[in-house]
Amino acid sequence: MSRYVLAAVLALLAMPALADTVPLVDGPLIVRQGDIVVSSKPLVQATAIDTLTCFNSVCVNRMTGHQTILSGGATKLKALGPIKGGYVLNGYRYQVMDGAPAASTPPAPVLTSQPAPTVSGPLYGINVSGGEFANMDNGQSLPTPADLDAYYAVGYRMFRIPLKFVQFDNSAPKLNALANECIKLATPCVFENHSYAWPAPALQVAQVVKADSVLPKSSLIQYGLQNEPNFKDWDQWAKDAQAIVTGVRAAGVTRFLWLDYPGSSGAQRFDKGDRAPKACASVACSMAKLPSGTIVDPLHRTGLDIHRYFDSNGSGTSMNCDKWVILASAARAAVPFGMPVLYGEYAFGNDGAVKDTCAALAPSIMQEIKDSPNLYGVTLWGGGSRWGNYMFRALPKATSPYIKMTTGQ
């Protein structure tokens, strides 16, 4: 990737410590609290945004595609507005608001030869179904801790547990047993409200608060809001999603949240290139219209749950695969919004067979998972012991090539 020419110009602040004025670069950048970073392009199109949050210290310039990795745990940049002349002609200034404190002596020069940091791969996981099955509202088909153990044994390291929300009322002991097994295995688990609905924000906040009161307090135990909401108004979805996140945090819930979106949460519908003033038909468009240009979580613990099936219409109703993967492109499109991505549902075979069209596409699918930036994890669809002969059934068979592949082996 191209880089701006690096330099450091020391500037005295009112504080006794020293701060720097440095250009944003494509790659690692040493910064401290109070430093001013400048860019020839705005980080986002809406330059009036007051504060930008860089997920995991990675700041993405939506105008250039460059990714700056801030040192010292810095994640927040305060926009100081455009400038003309001076250090960068027609530049944009941002002040580092957190991270390591400013040094009392000038920092060492920043070198363009710094290596990029090593990024660990995503968590390979699986949906363990049963709790979402029709006419099973009393939790009689919920998976068991033994089911989680079996999938852990073959290599899965994250679980998404779809269920009916009523089970937080009538099956709390079973849900607690599952959550405690996740904690024992040190494996993230997403308890996901598999409803396809999109209730009013106040009701969704109440549901999250209820779930939070049932599940044990652990960063491993996460919550997925409405699965694939059958909701047509993209702009309203984004406004509602922001209201839900704000309400949940105001209620004191701190666990990680995952958001599905309209259009079956499809990867192909994440960014269709549509932008204001037109009515939105994608997540990227609707979030970009929000006052902060994204969904803001003060705890930075809200992510986007993206689904991808590989048949011709992406519906997951056929075992045949089309020629398009559309995974890494969706994850790249999500990076500027500062929210991690979970591929919450994907499938292209079963524990016994993979059709020829999908076998041909499988290497590209798994490679795009590896190539996806900002990816927290992937959870294969079709786990659970009660699927019968379902075309995407994924039983924990250690010798199955499909199981081996989807555990990242």
Contacts of 404 (CB under 8 A, 6+ apart): 155, 398
The pLDDT, as a whole number, for residue 217 is 94
How would you classify residue 191: left for phi > 0, otherwise alpha for psi between -120 and 50, otherwise beta?
beta
- In the block, tokens 């049963």 appear at 130
The 10 Å CB-count burial string (b at 16+, else e) for 250-263 is: eeebebbbbbbbbb
| pLDDT of res. 401 | 97
**Would you state the pLDDT for residue 59?**
73
pLDDT along the chain (409 residues), means of 10: 32 38 59 72 52 69 60 75 40 75 43 33 94 87 97 97 95 96 96 95 97 96 95 95 98 97 94 87 95 95 96 92 91 93 97 96 95 94 94 97 95
Q: What is the pLDDT of residue 323?
A: 86
Contact 382, 389 (CB under 8 A): no
Return the pLDDT at 22: 56
Task: Check: CB of residue 196 under 8 Å from CB of residue 226.
Answer: yes
Distance from the first to the final alpha carbon of the chain: 30
| Cβ neighbours of residue 336 closer than 8 Å, sequence gap 6 or more | 44, 60, 62, 294
Q: What is the pLDDT of residue 4?
A: 33
Kindly report, residue by residue over 306-316, the tens digit of the pLDDT.
999 999 889 99
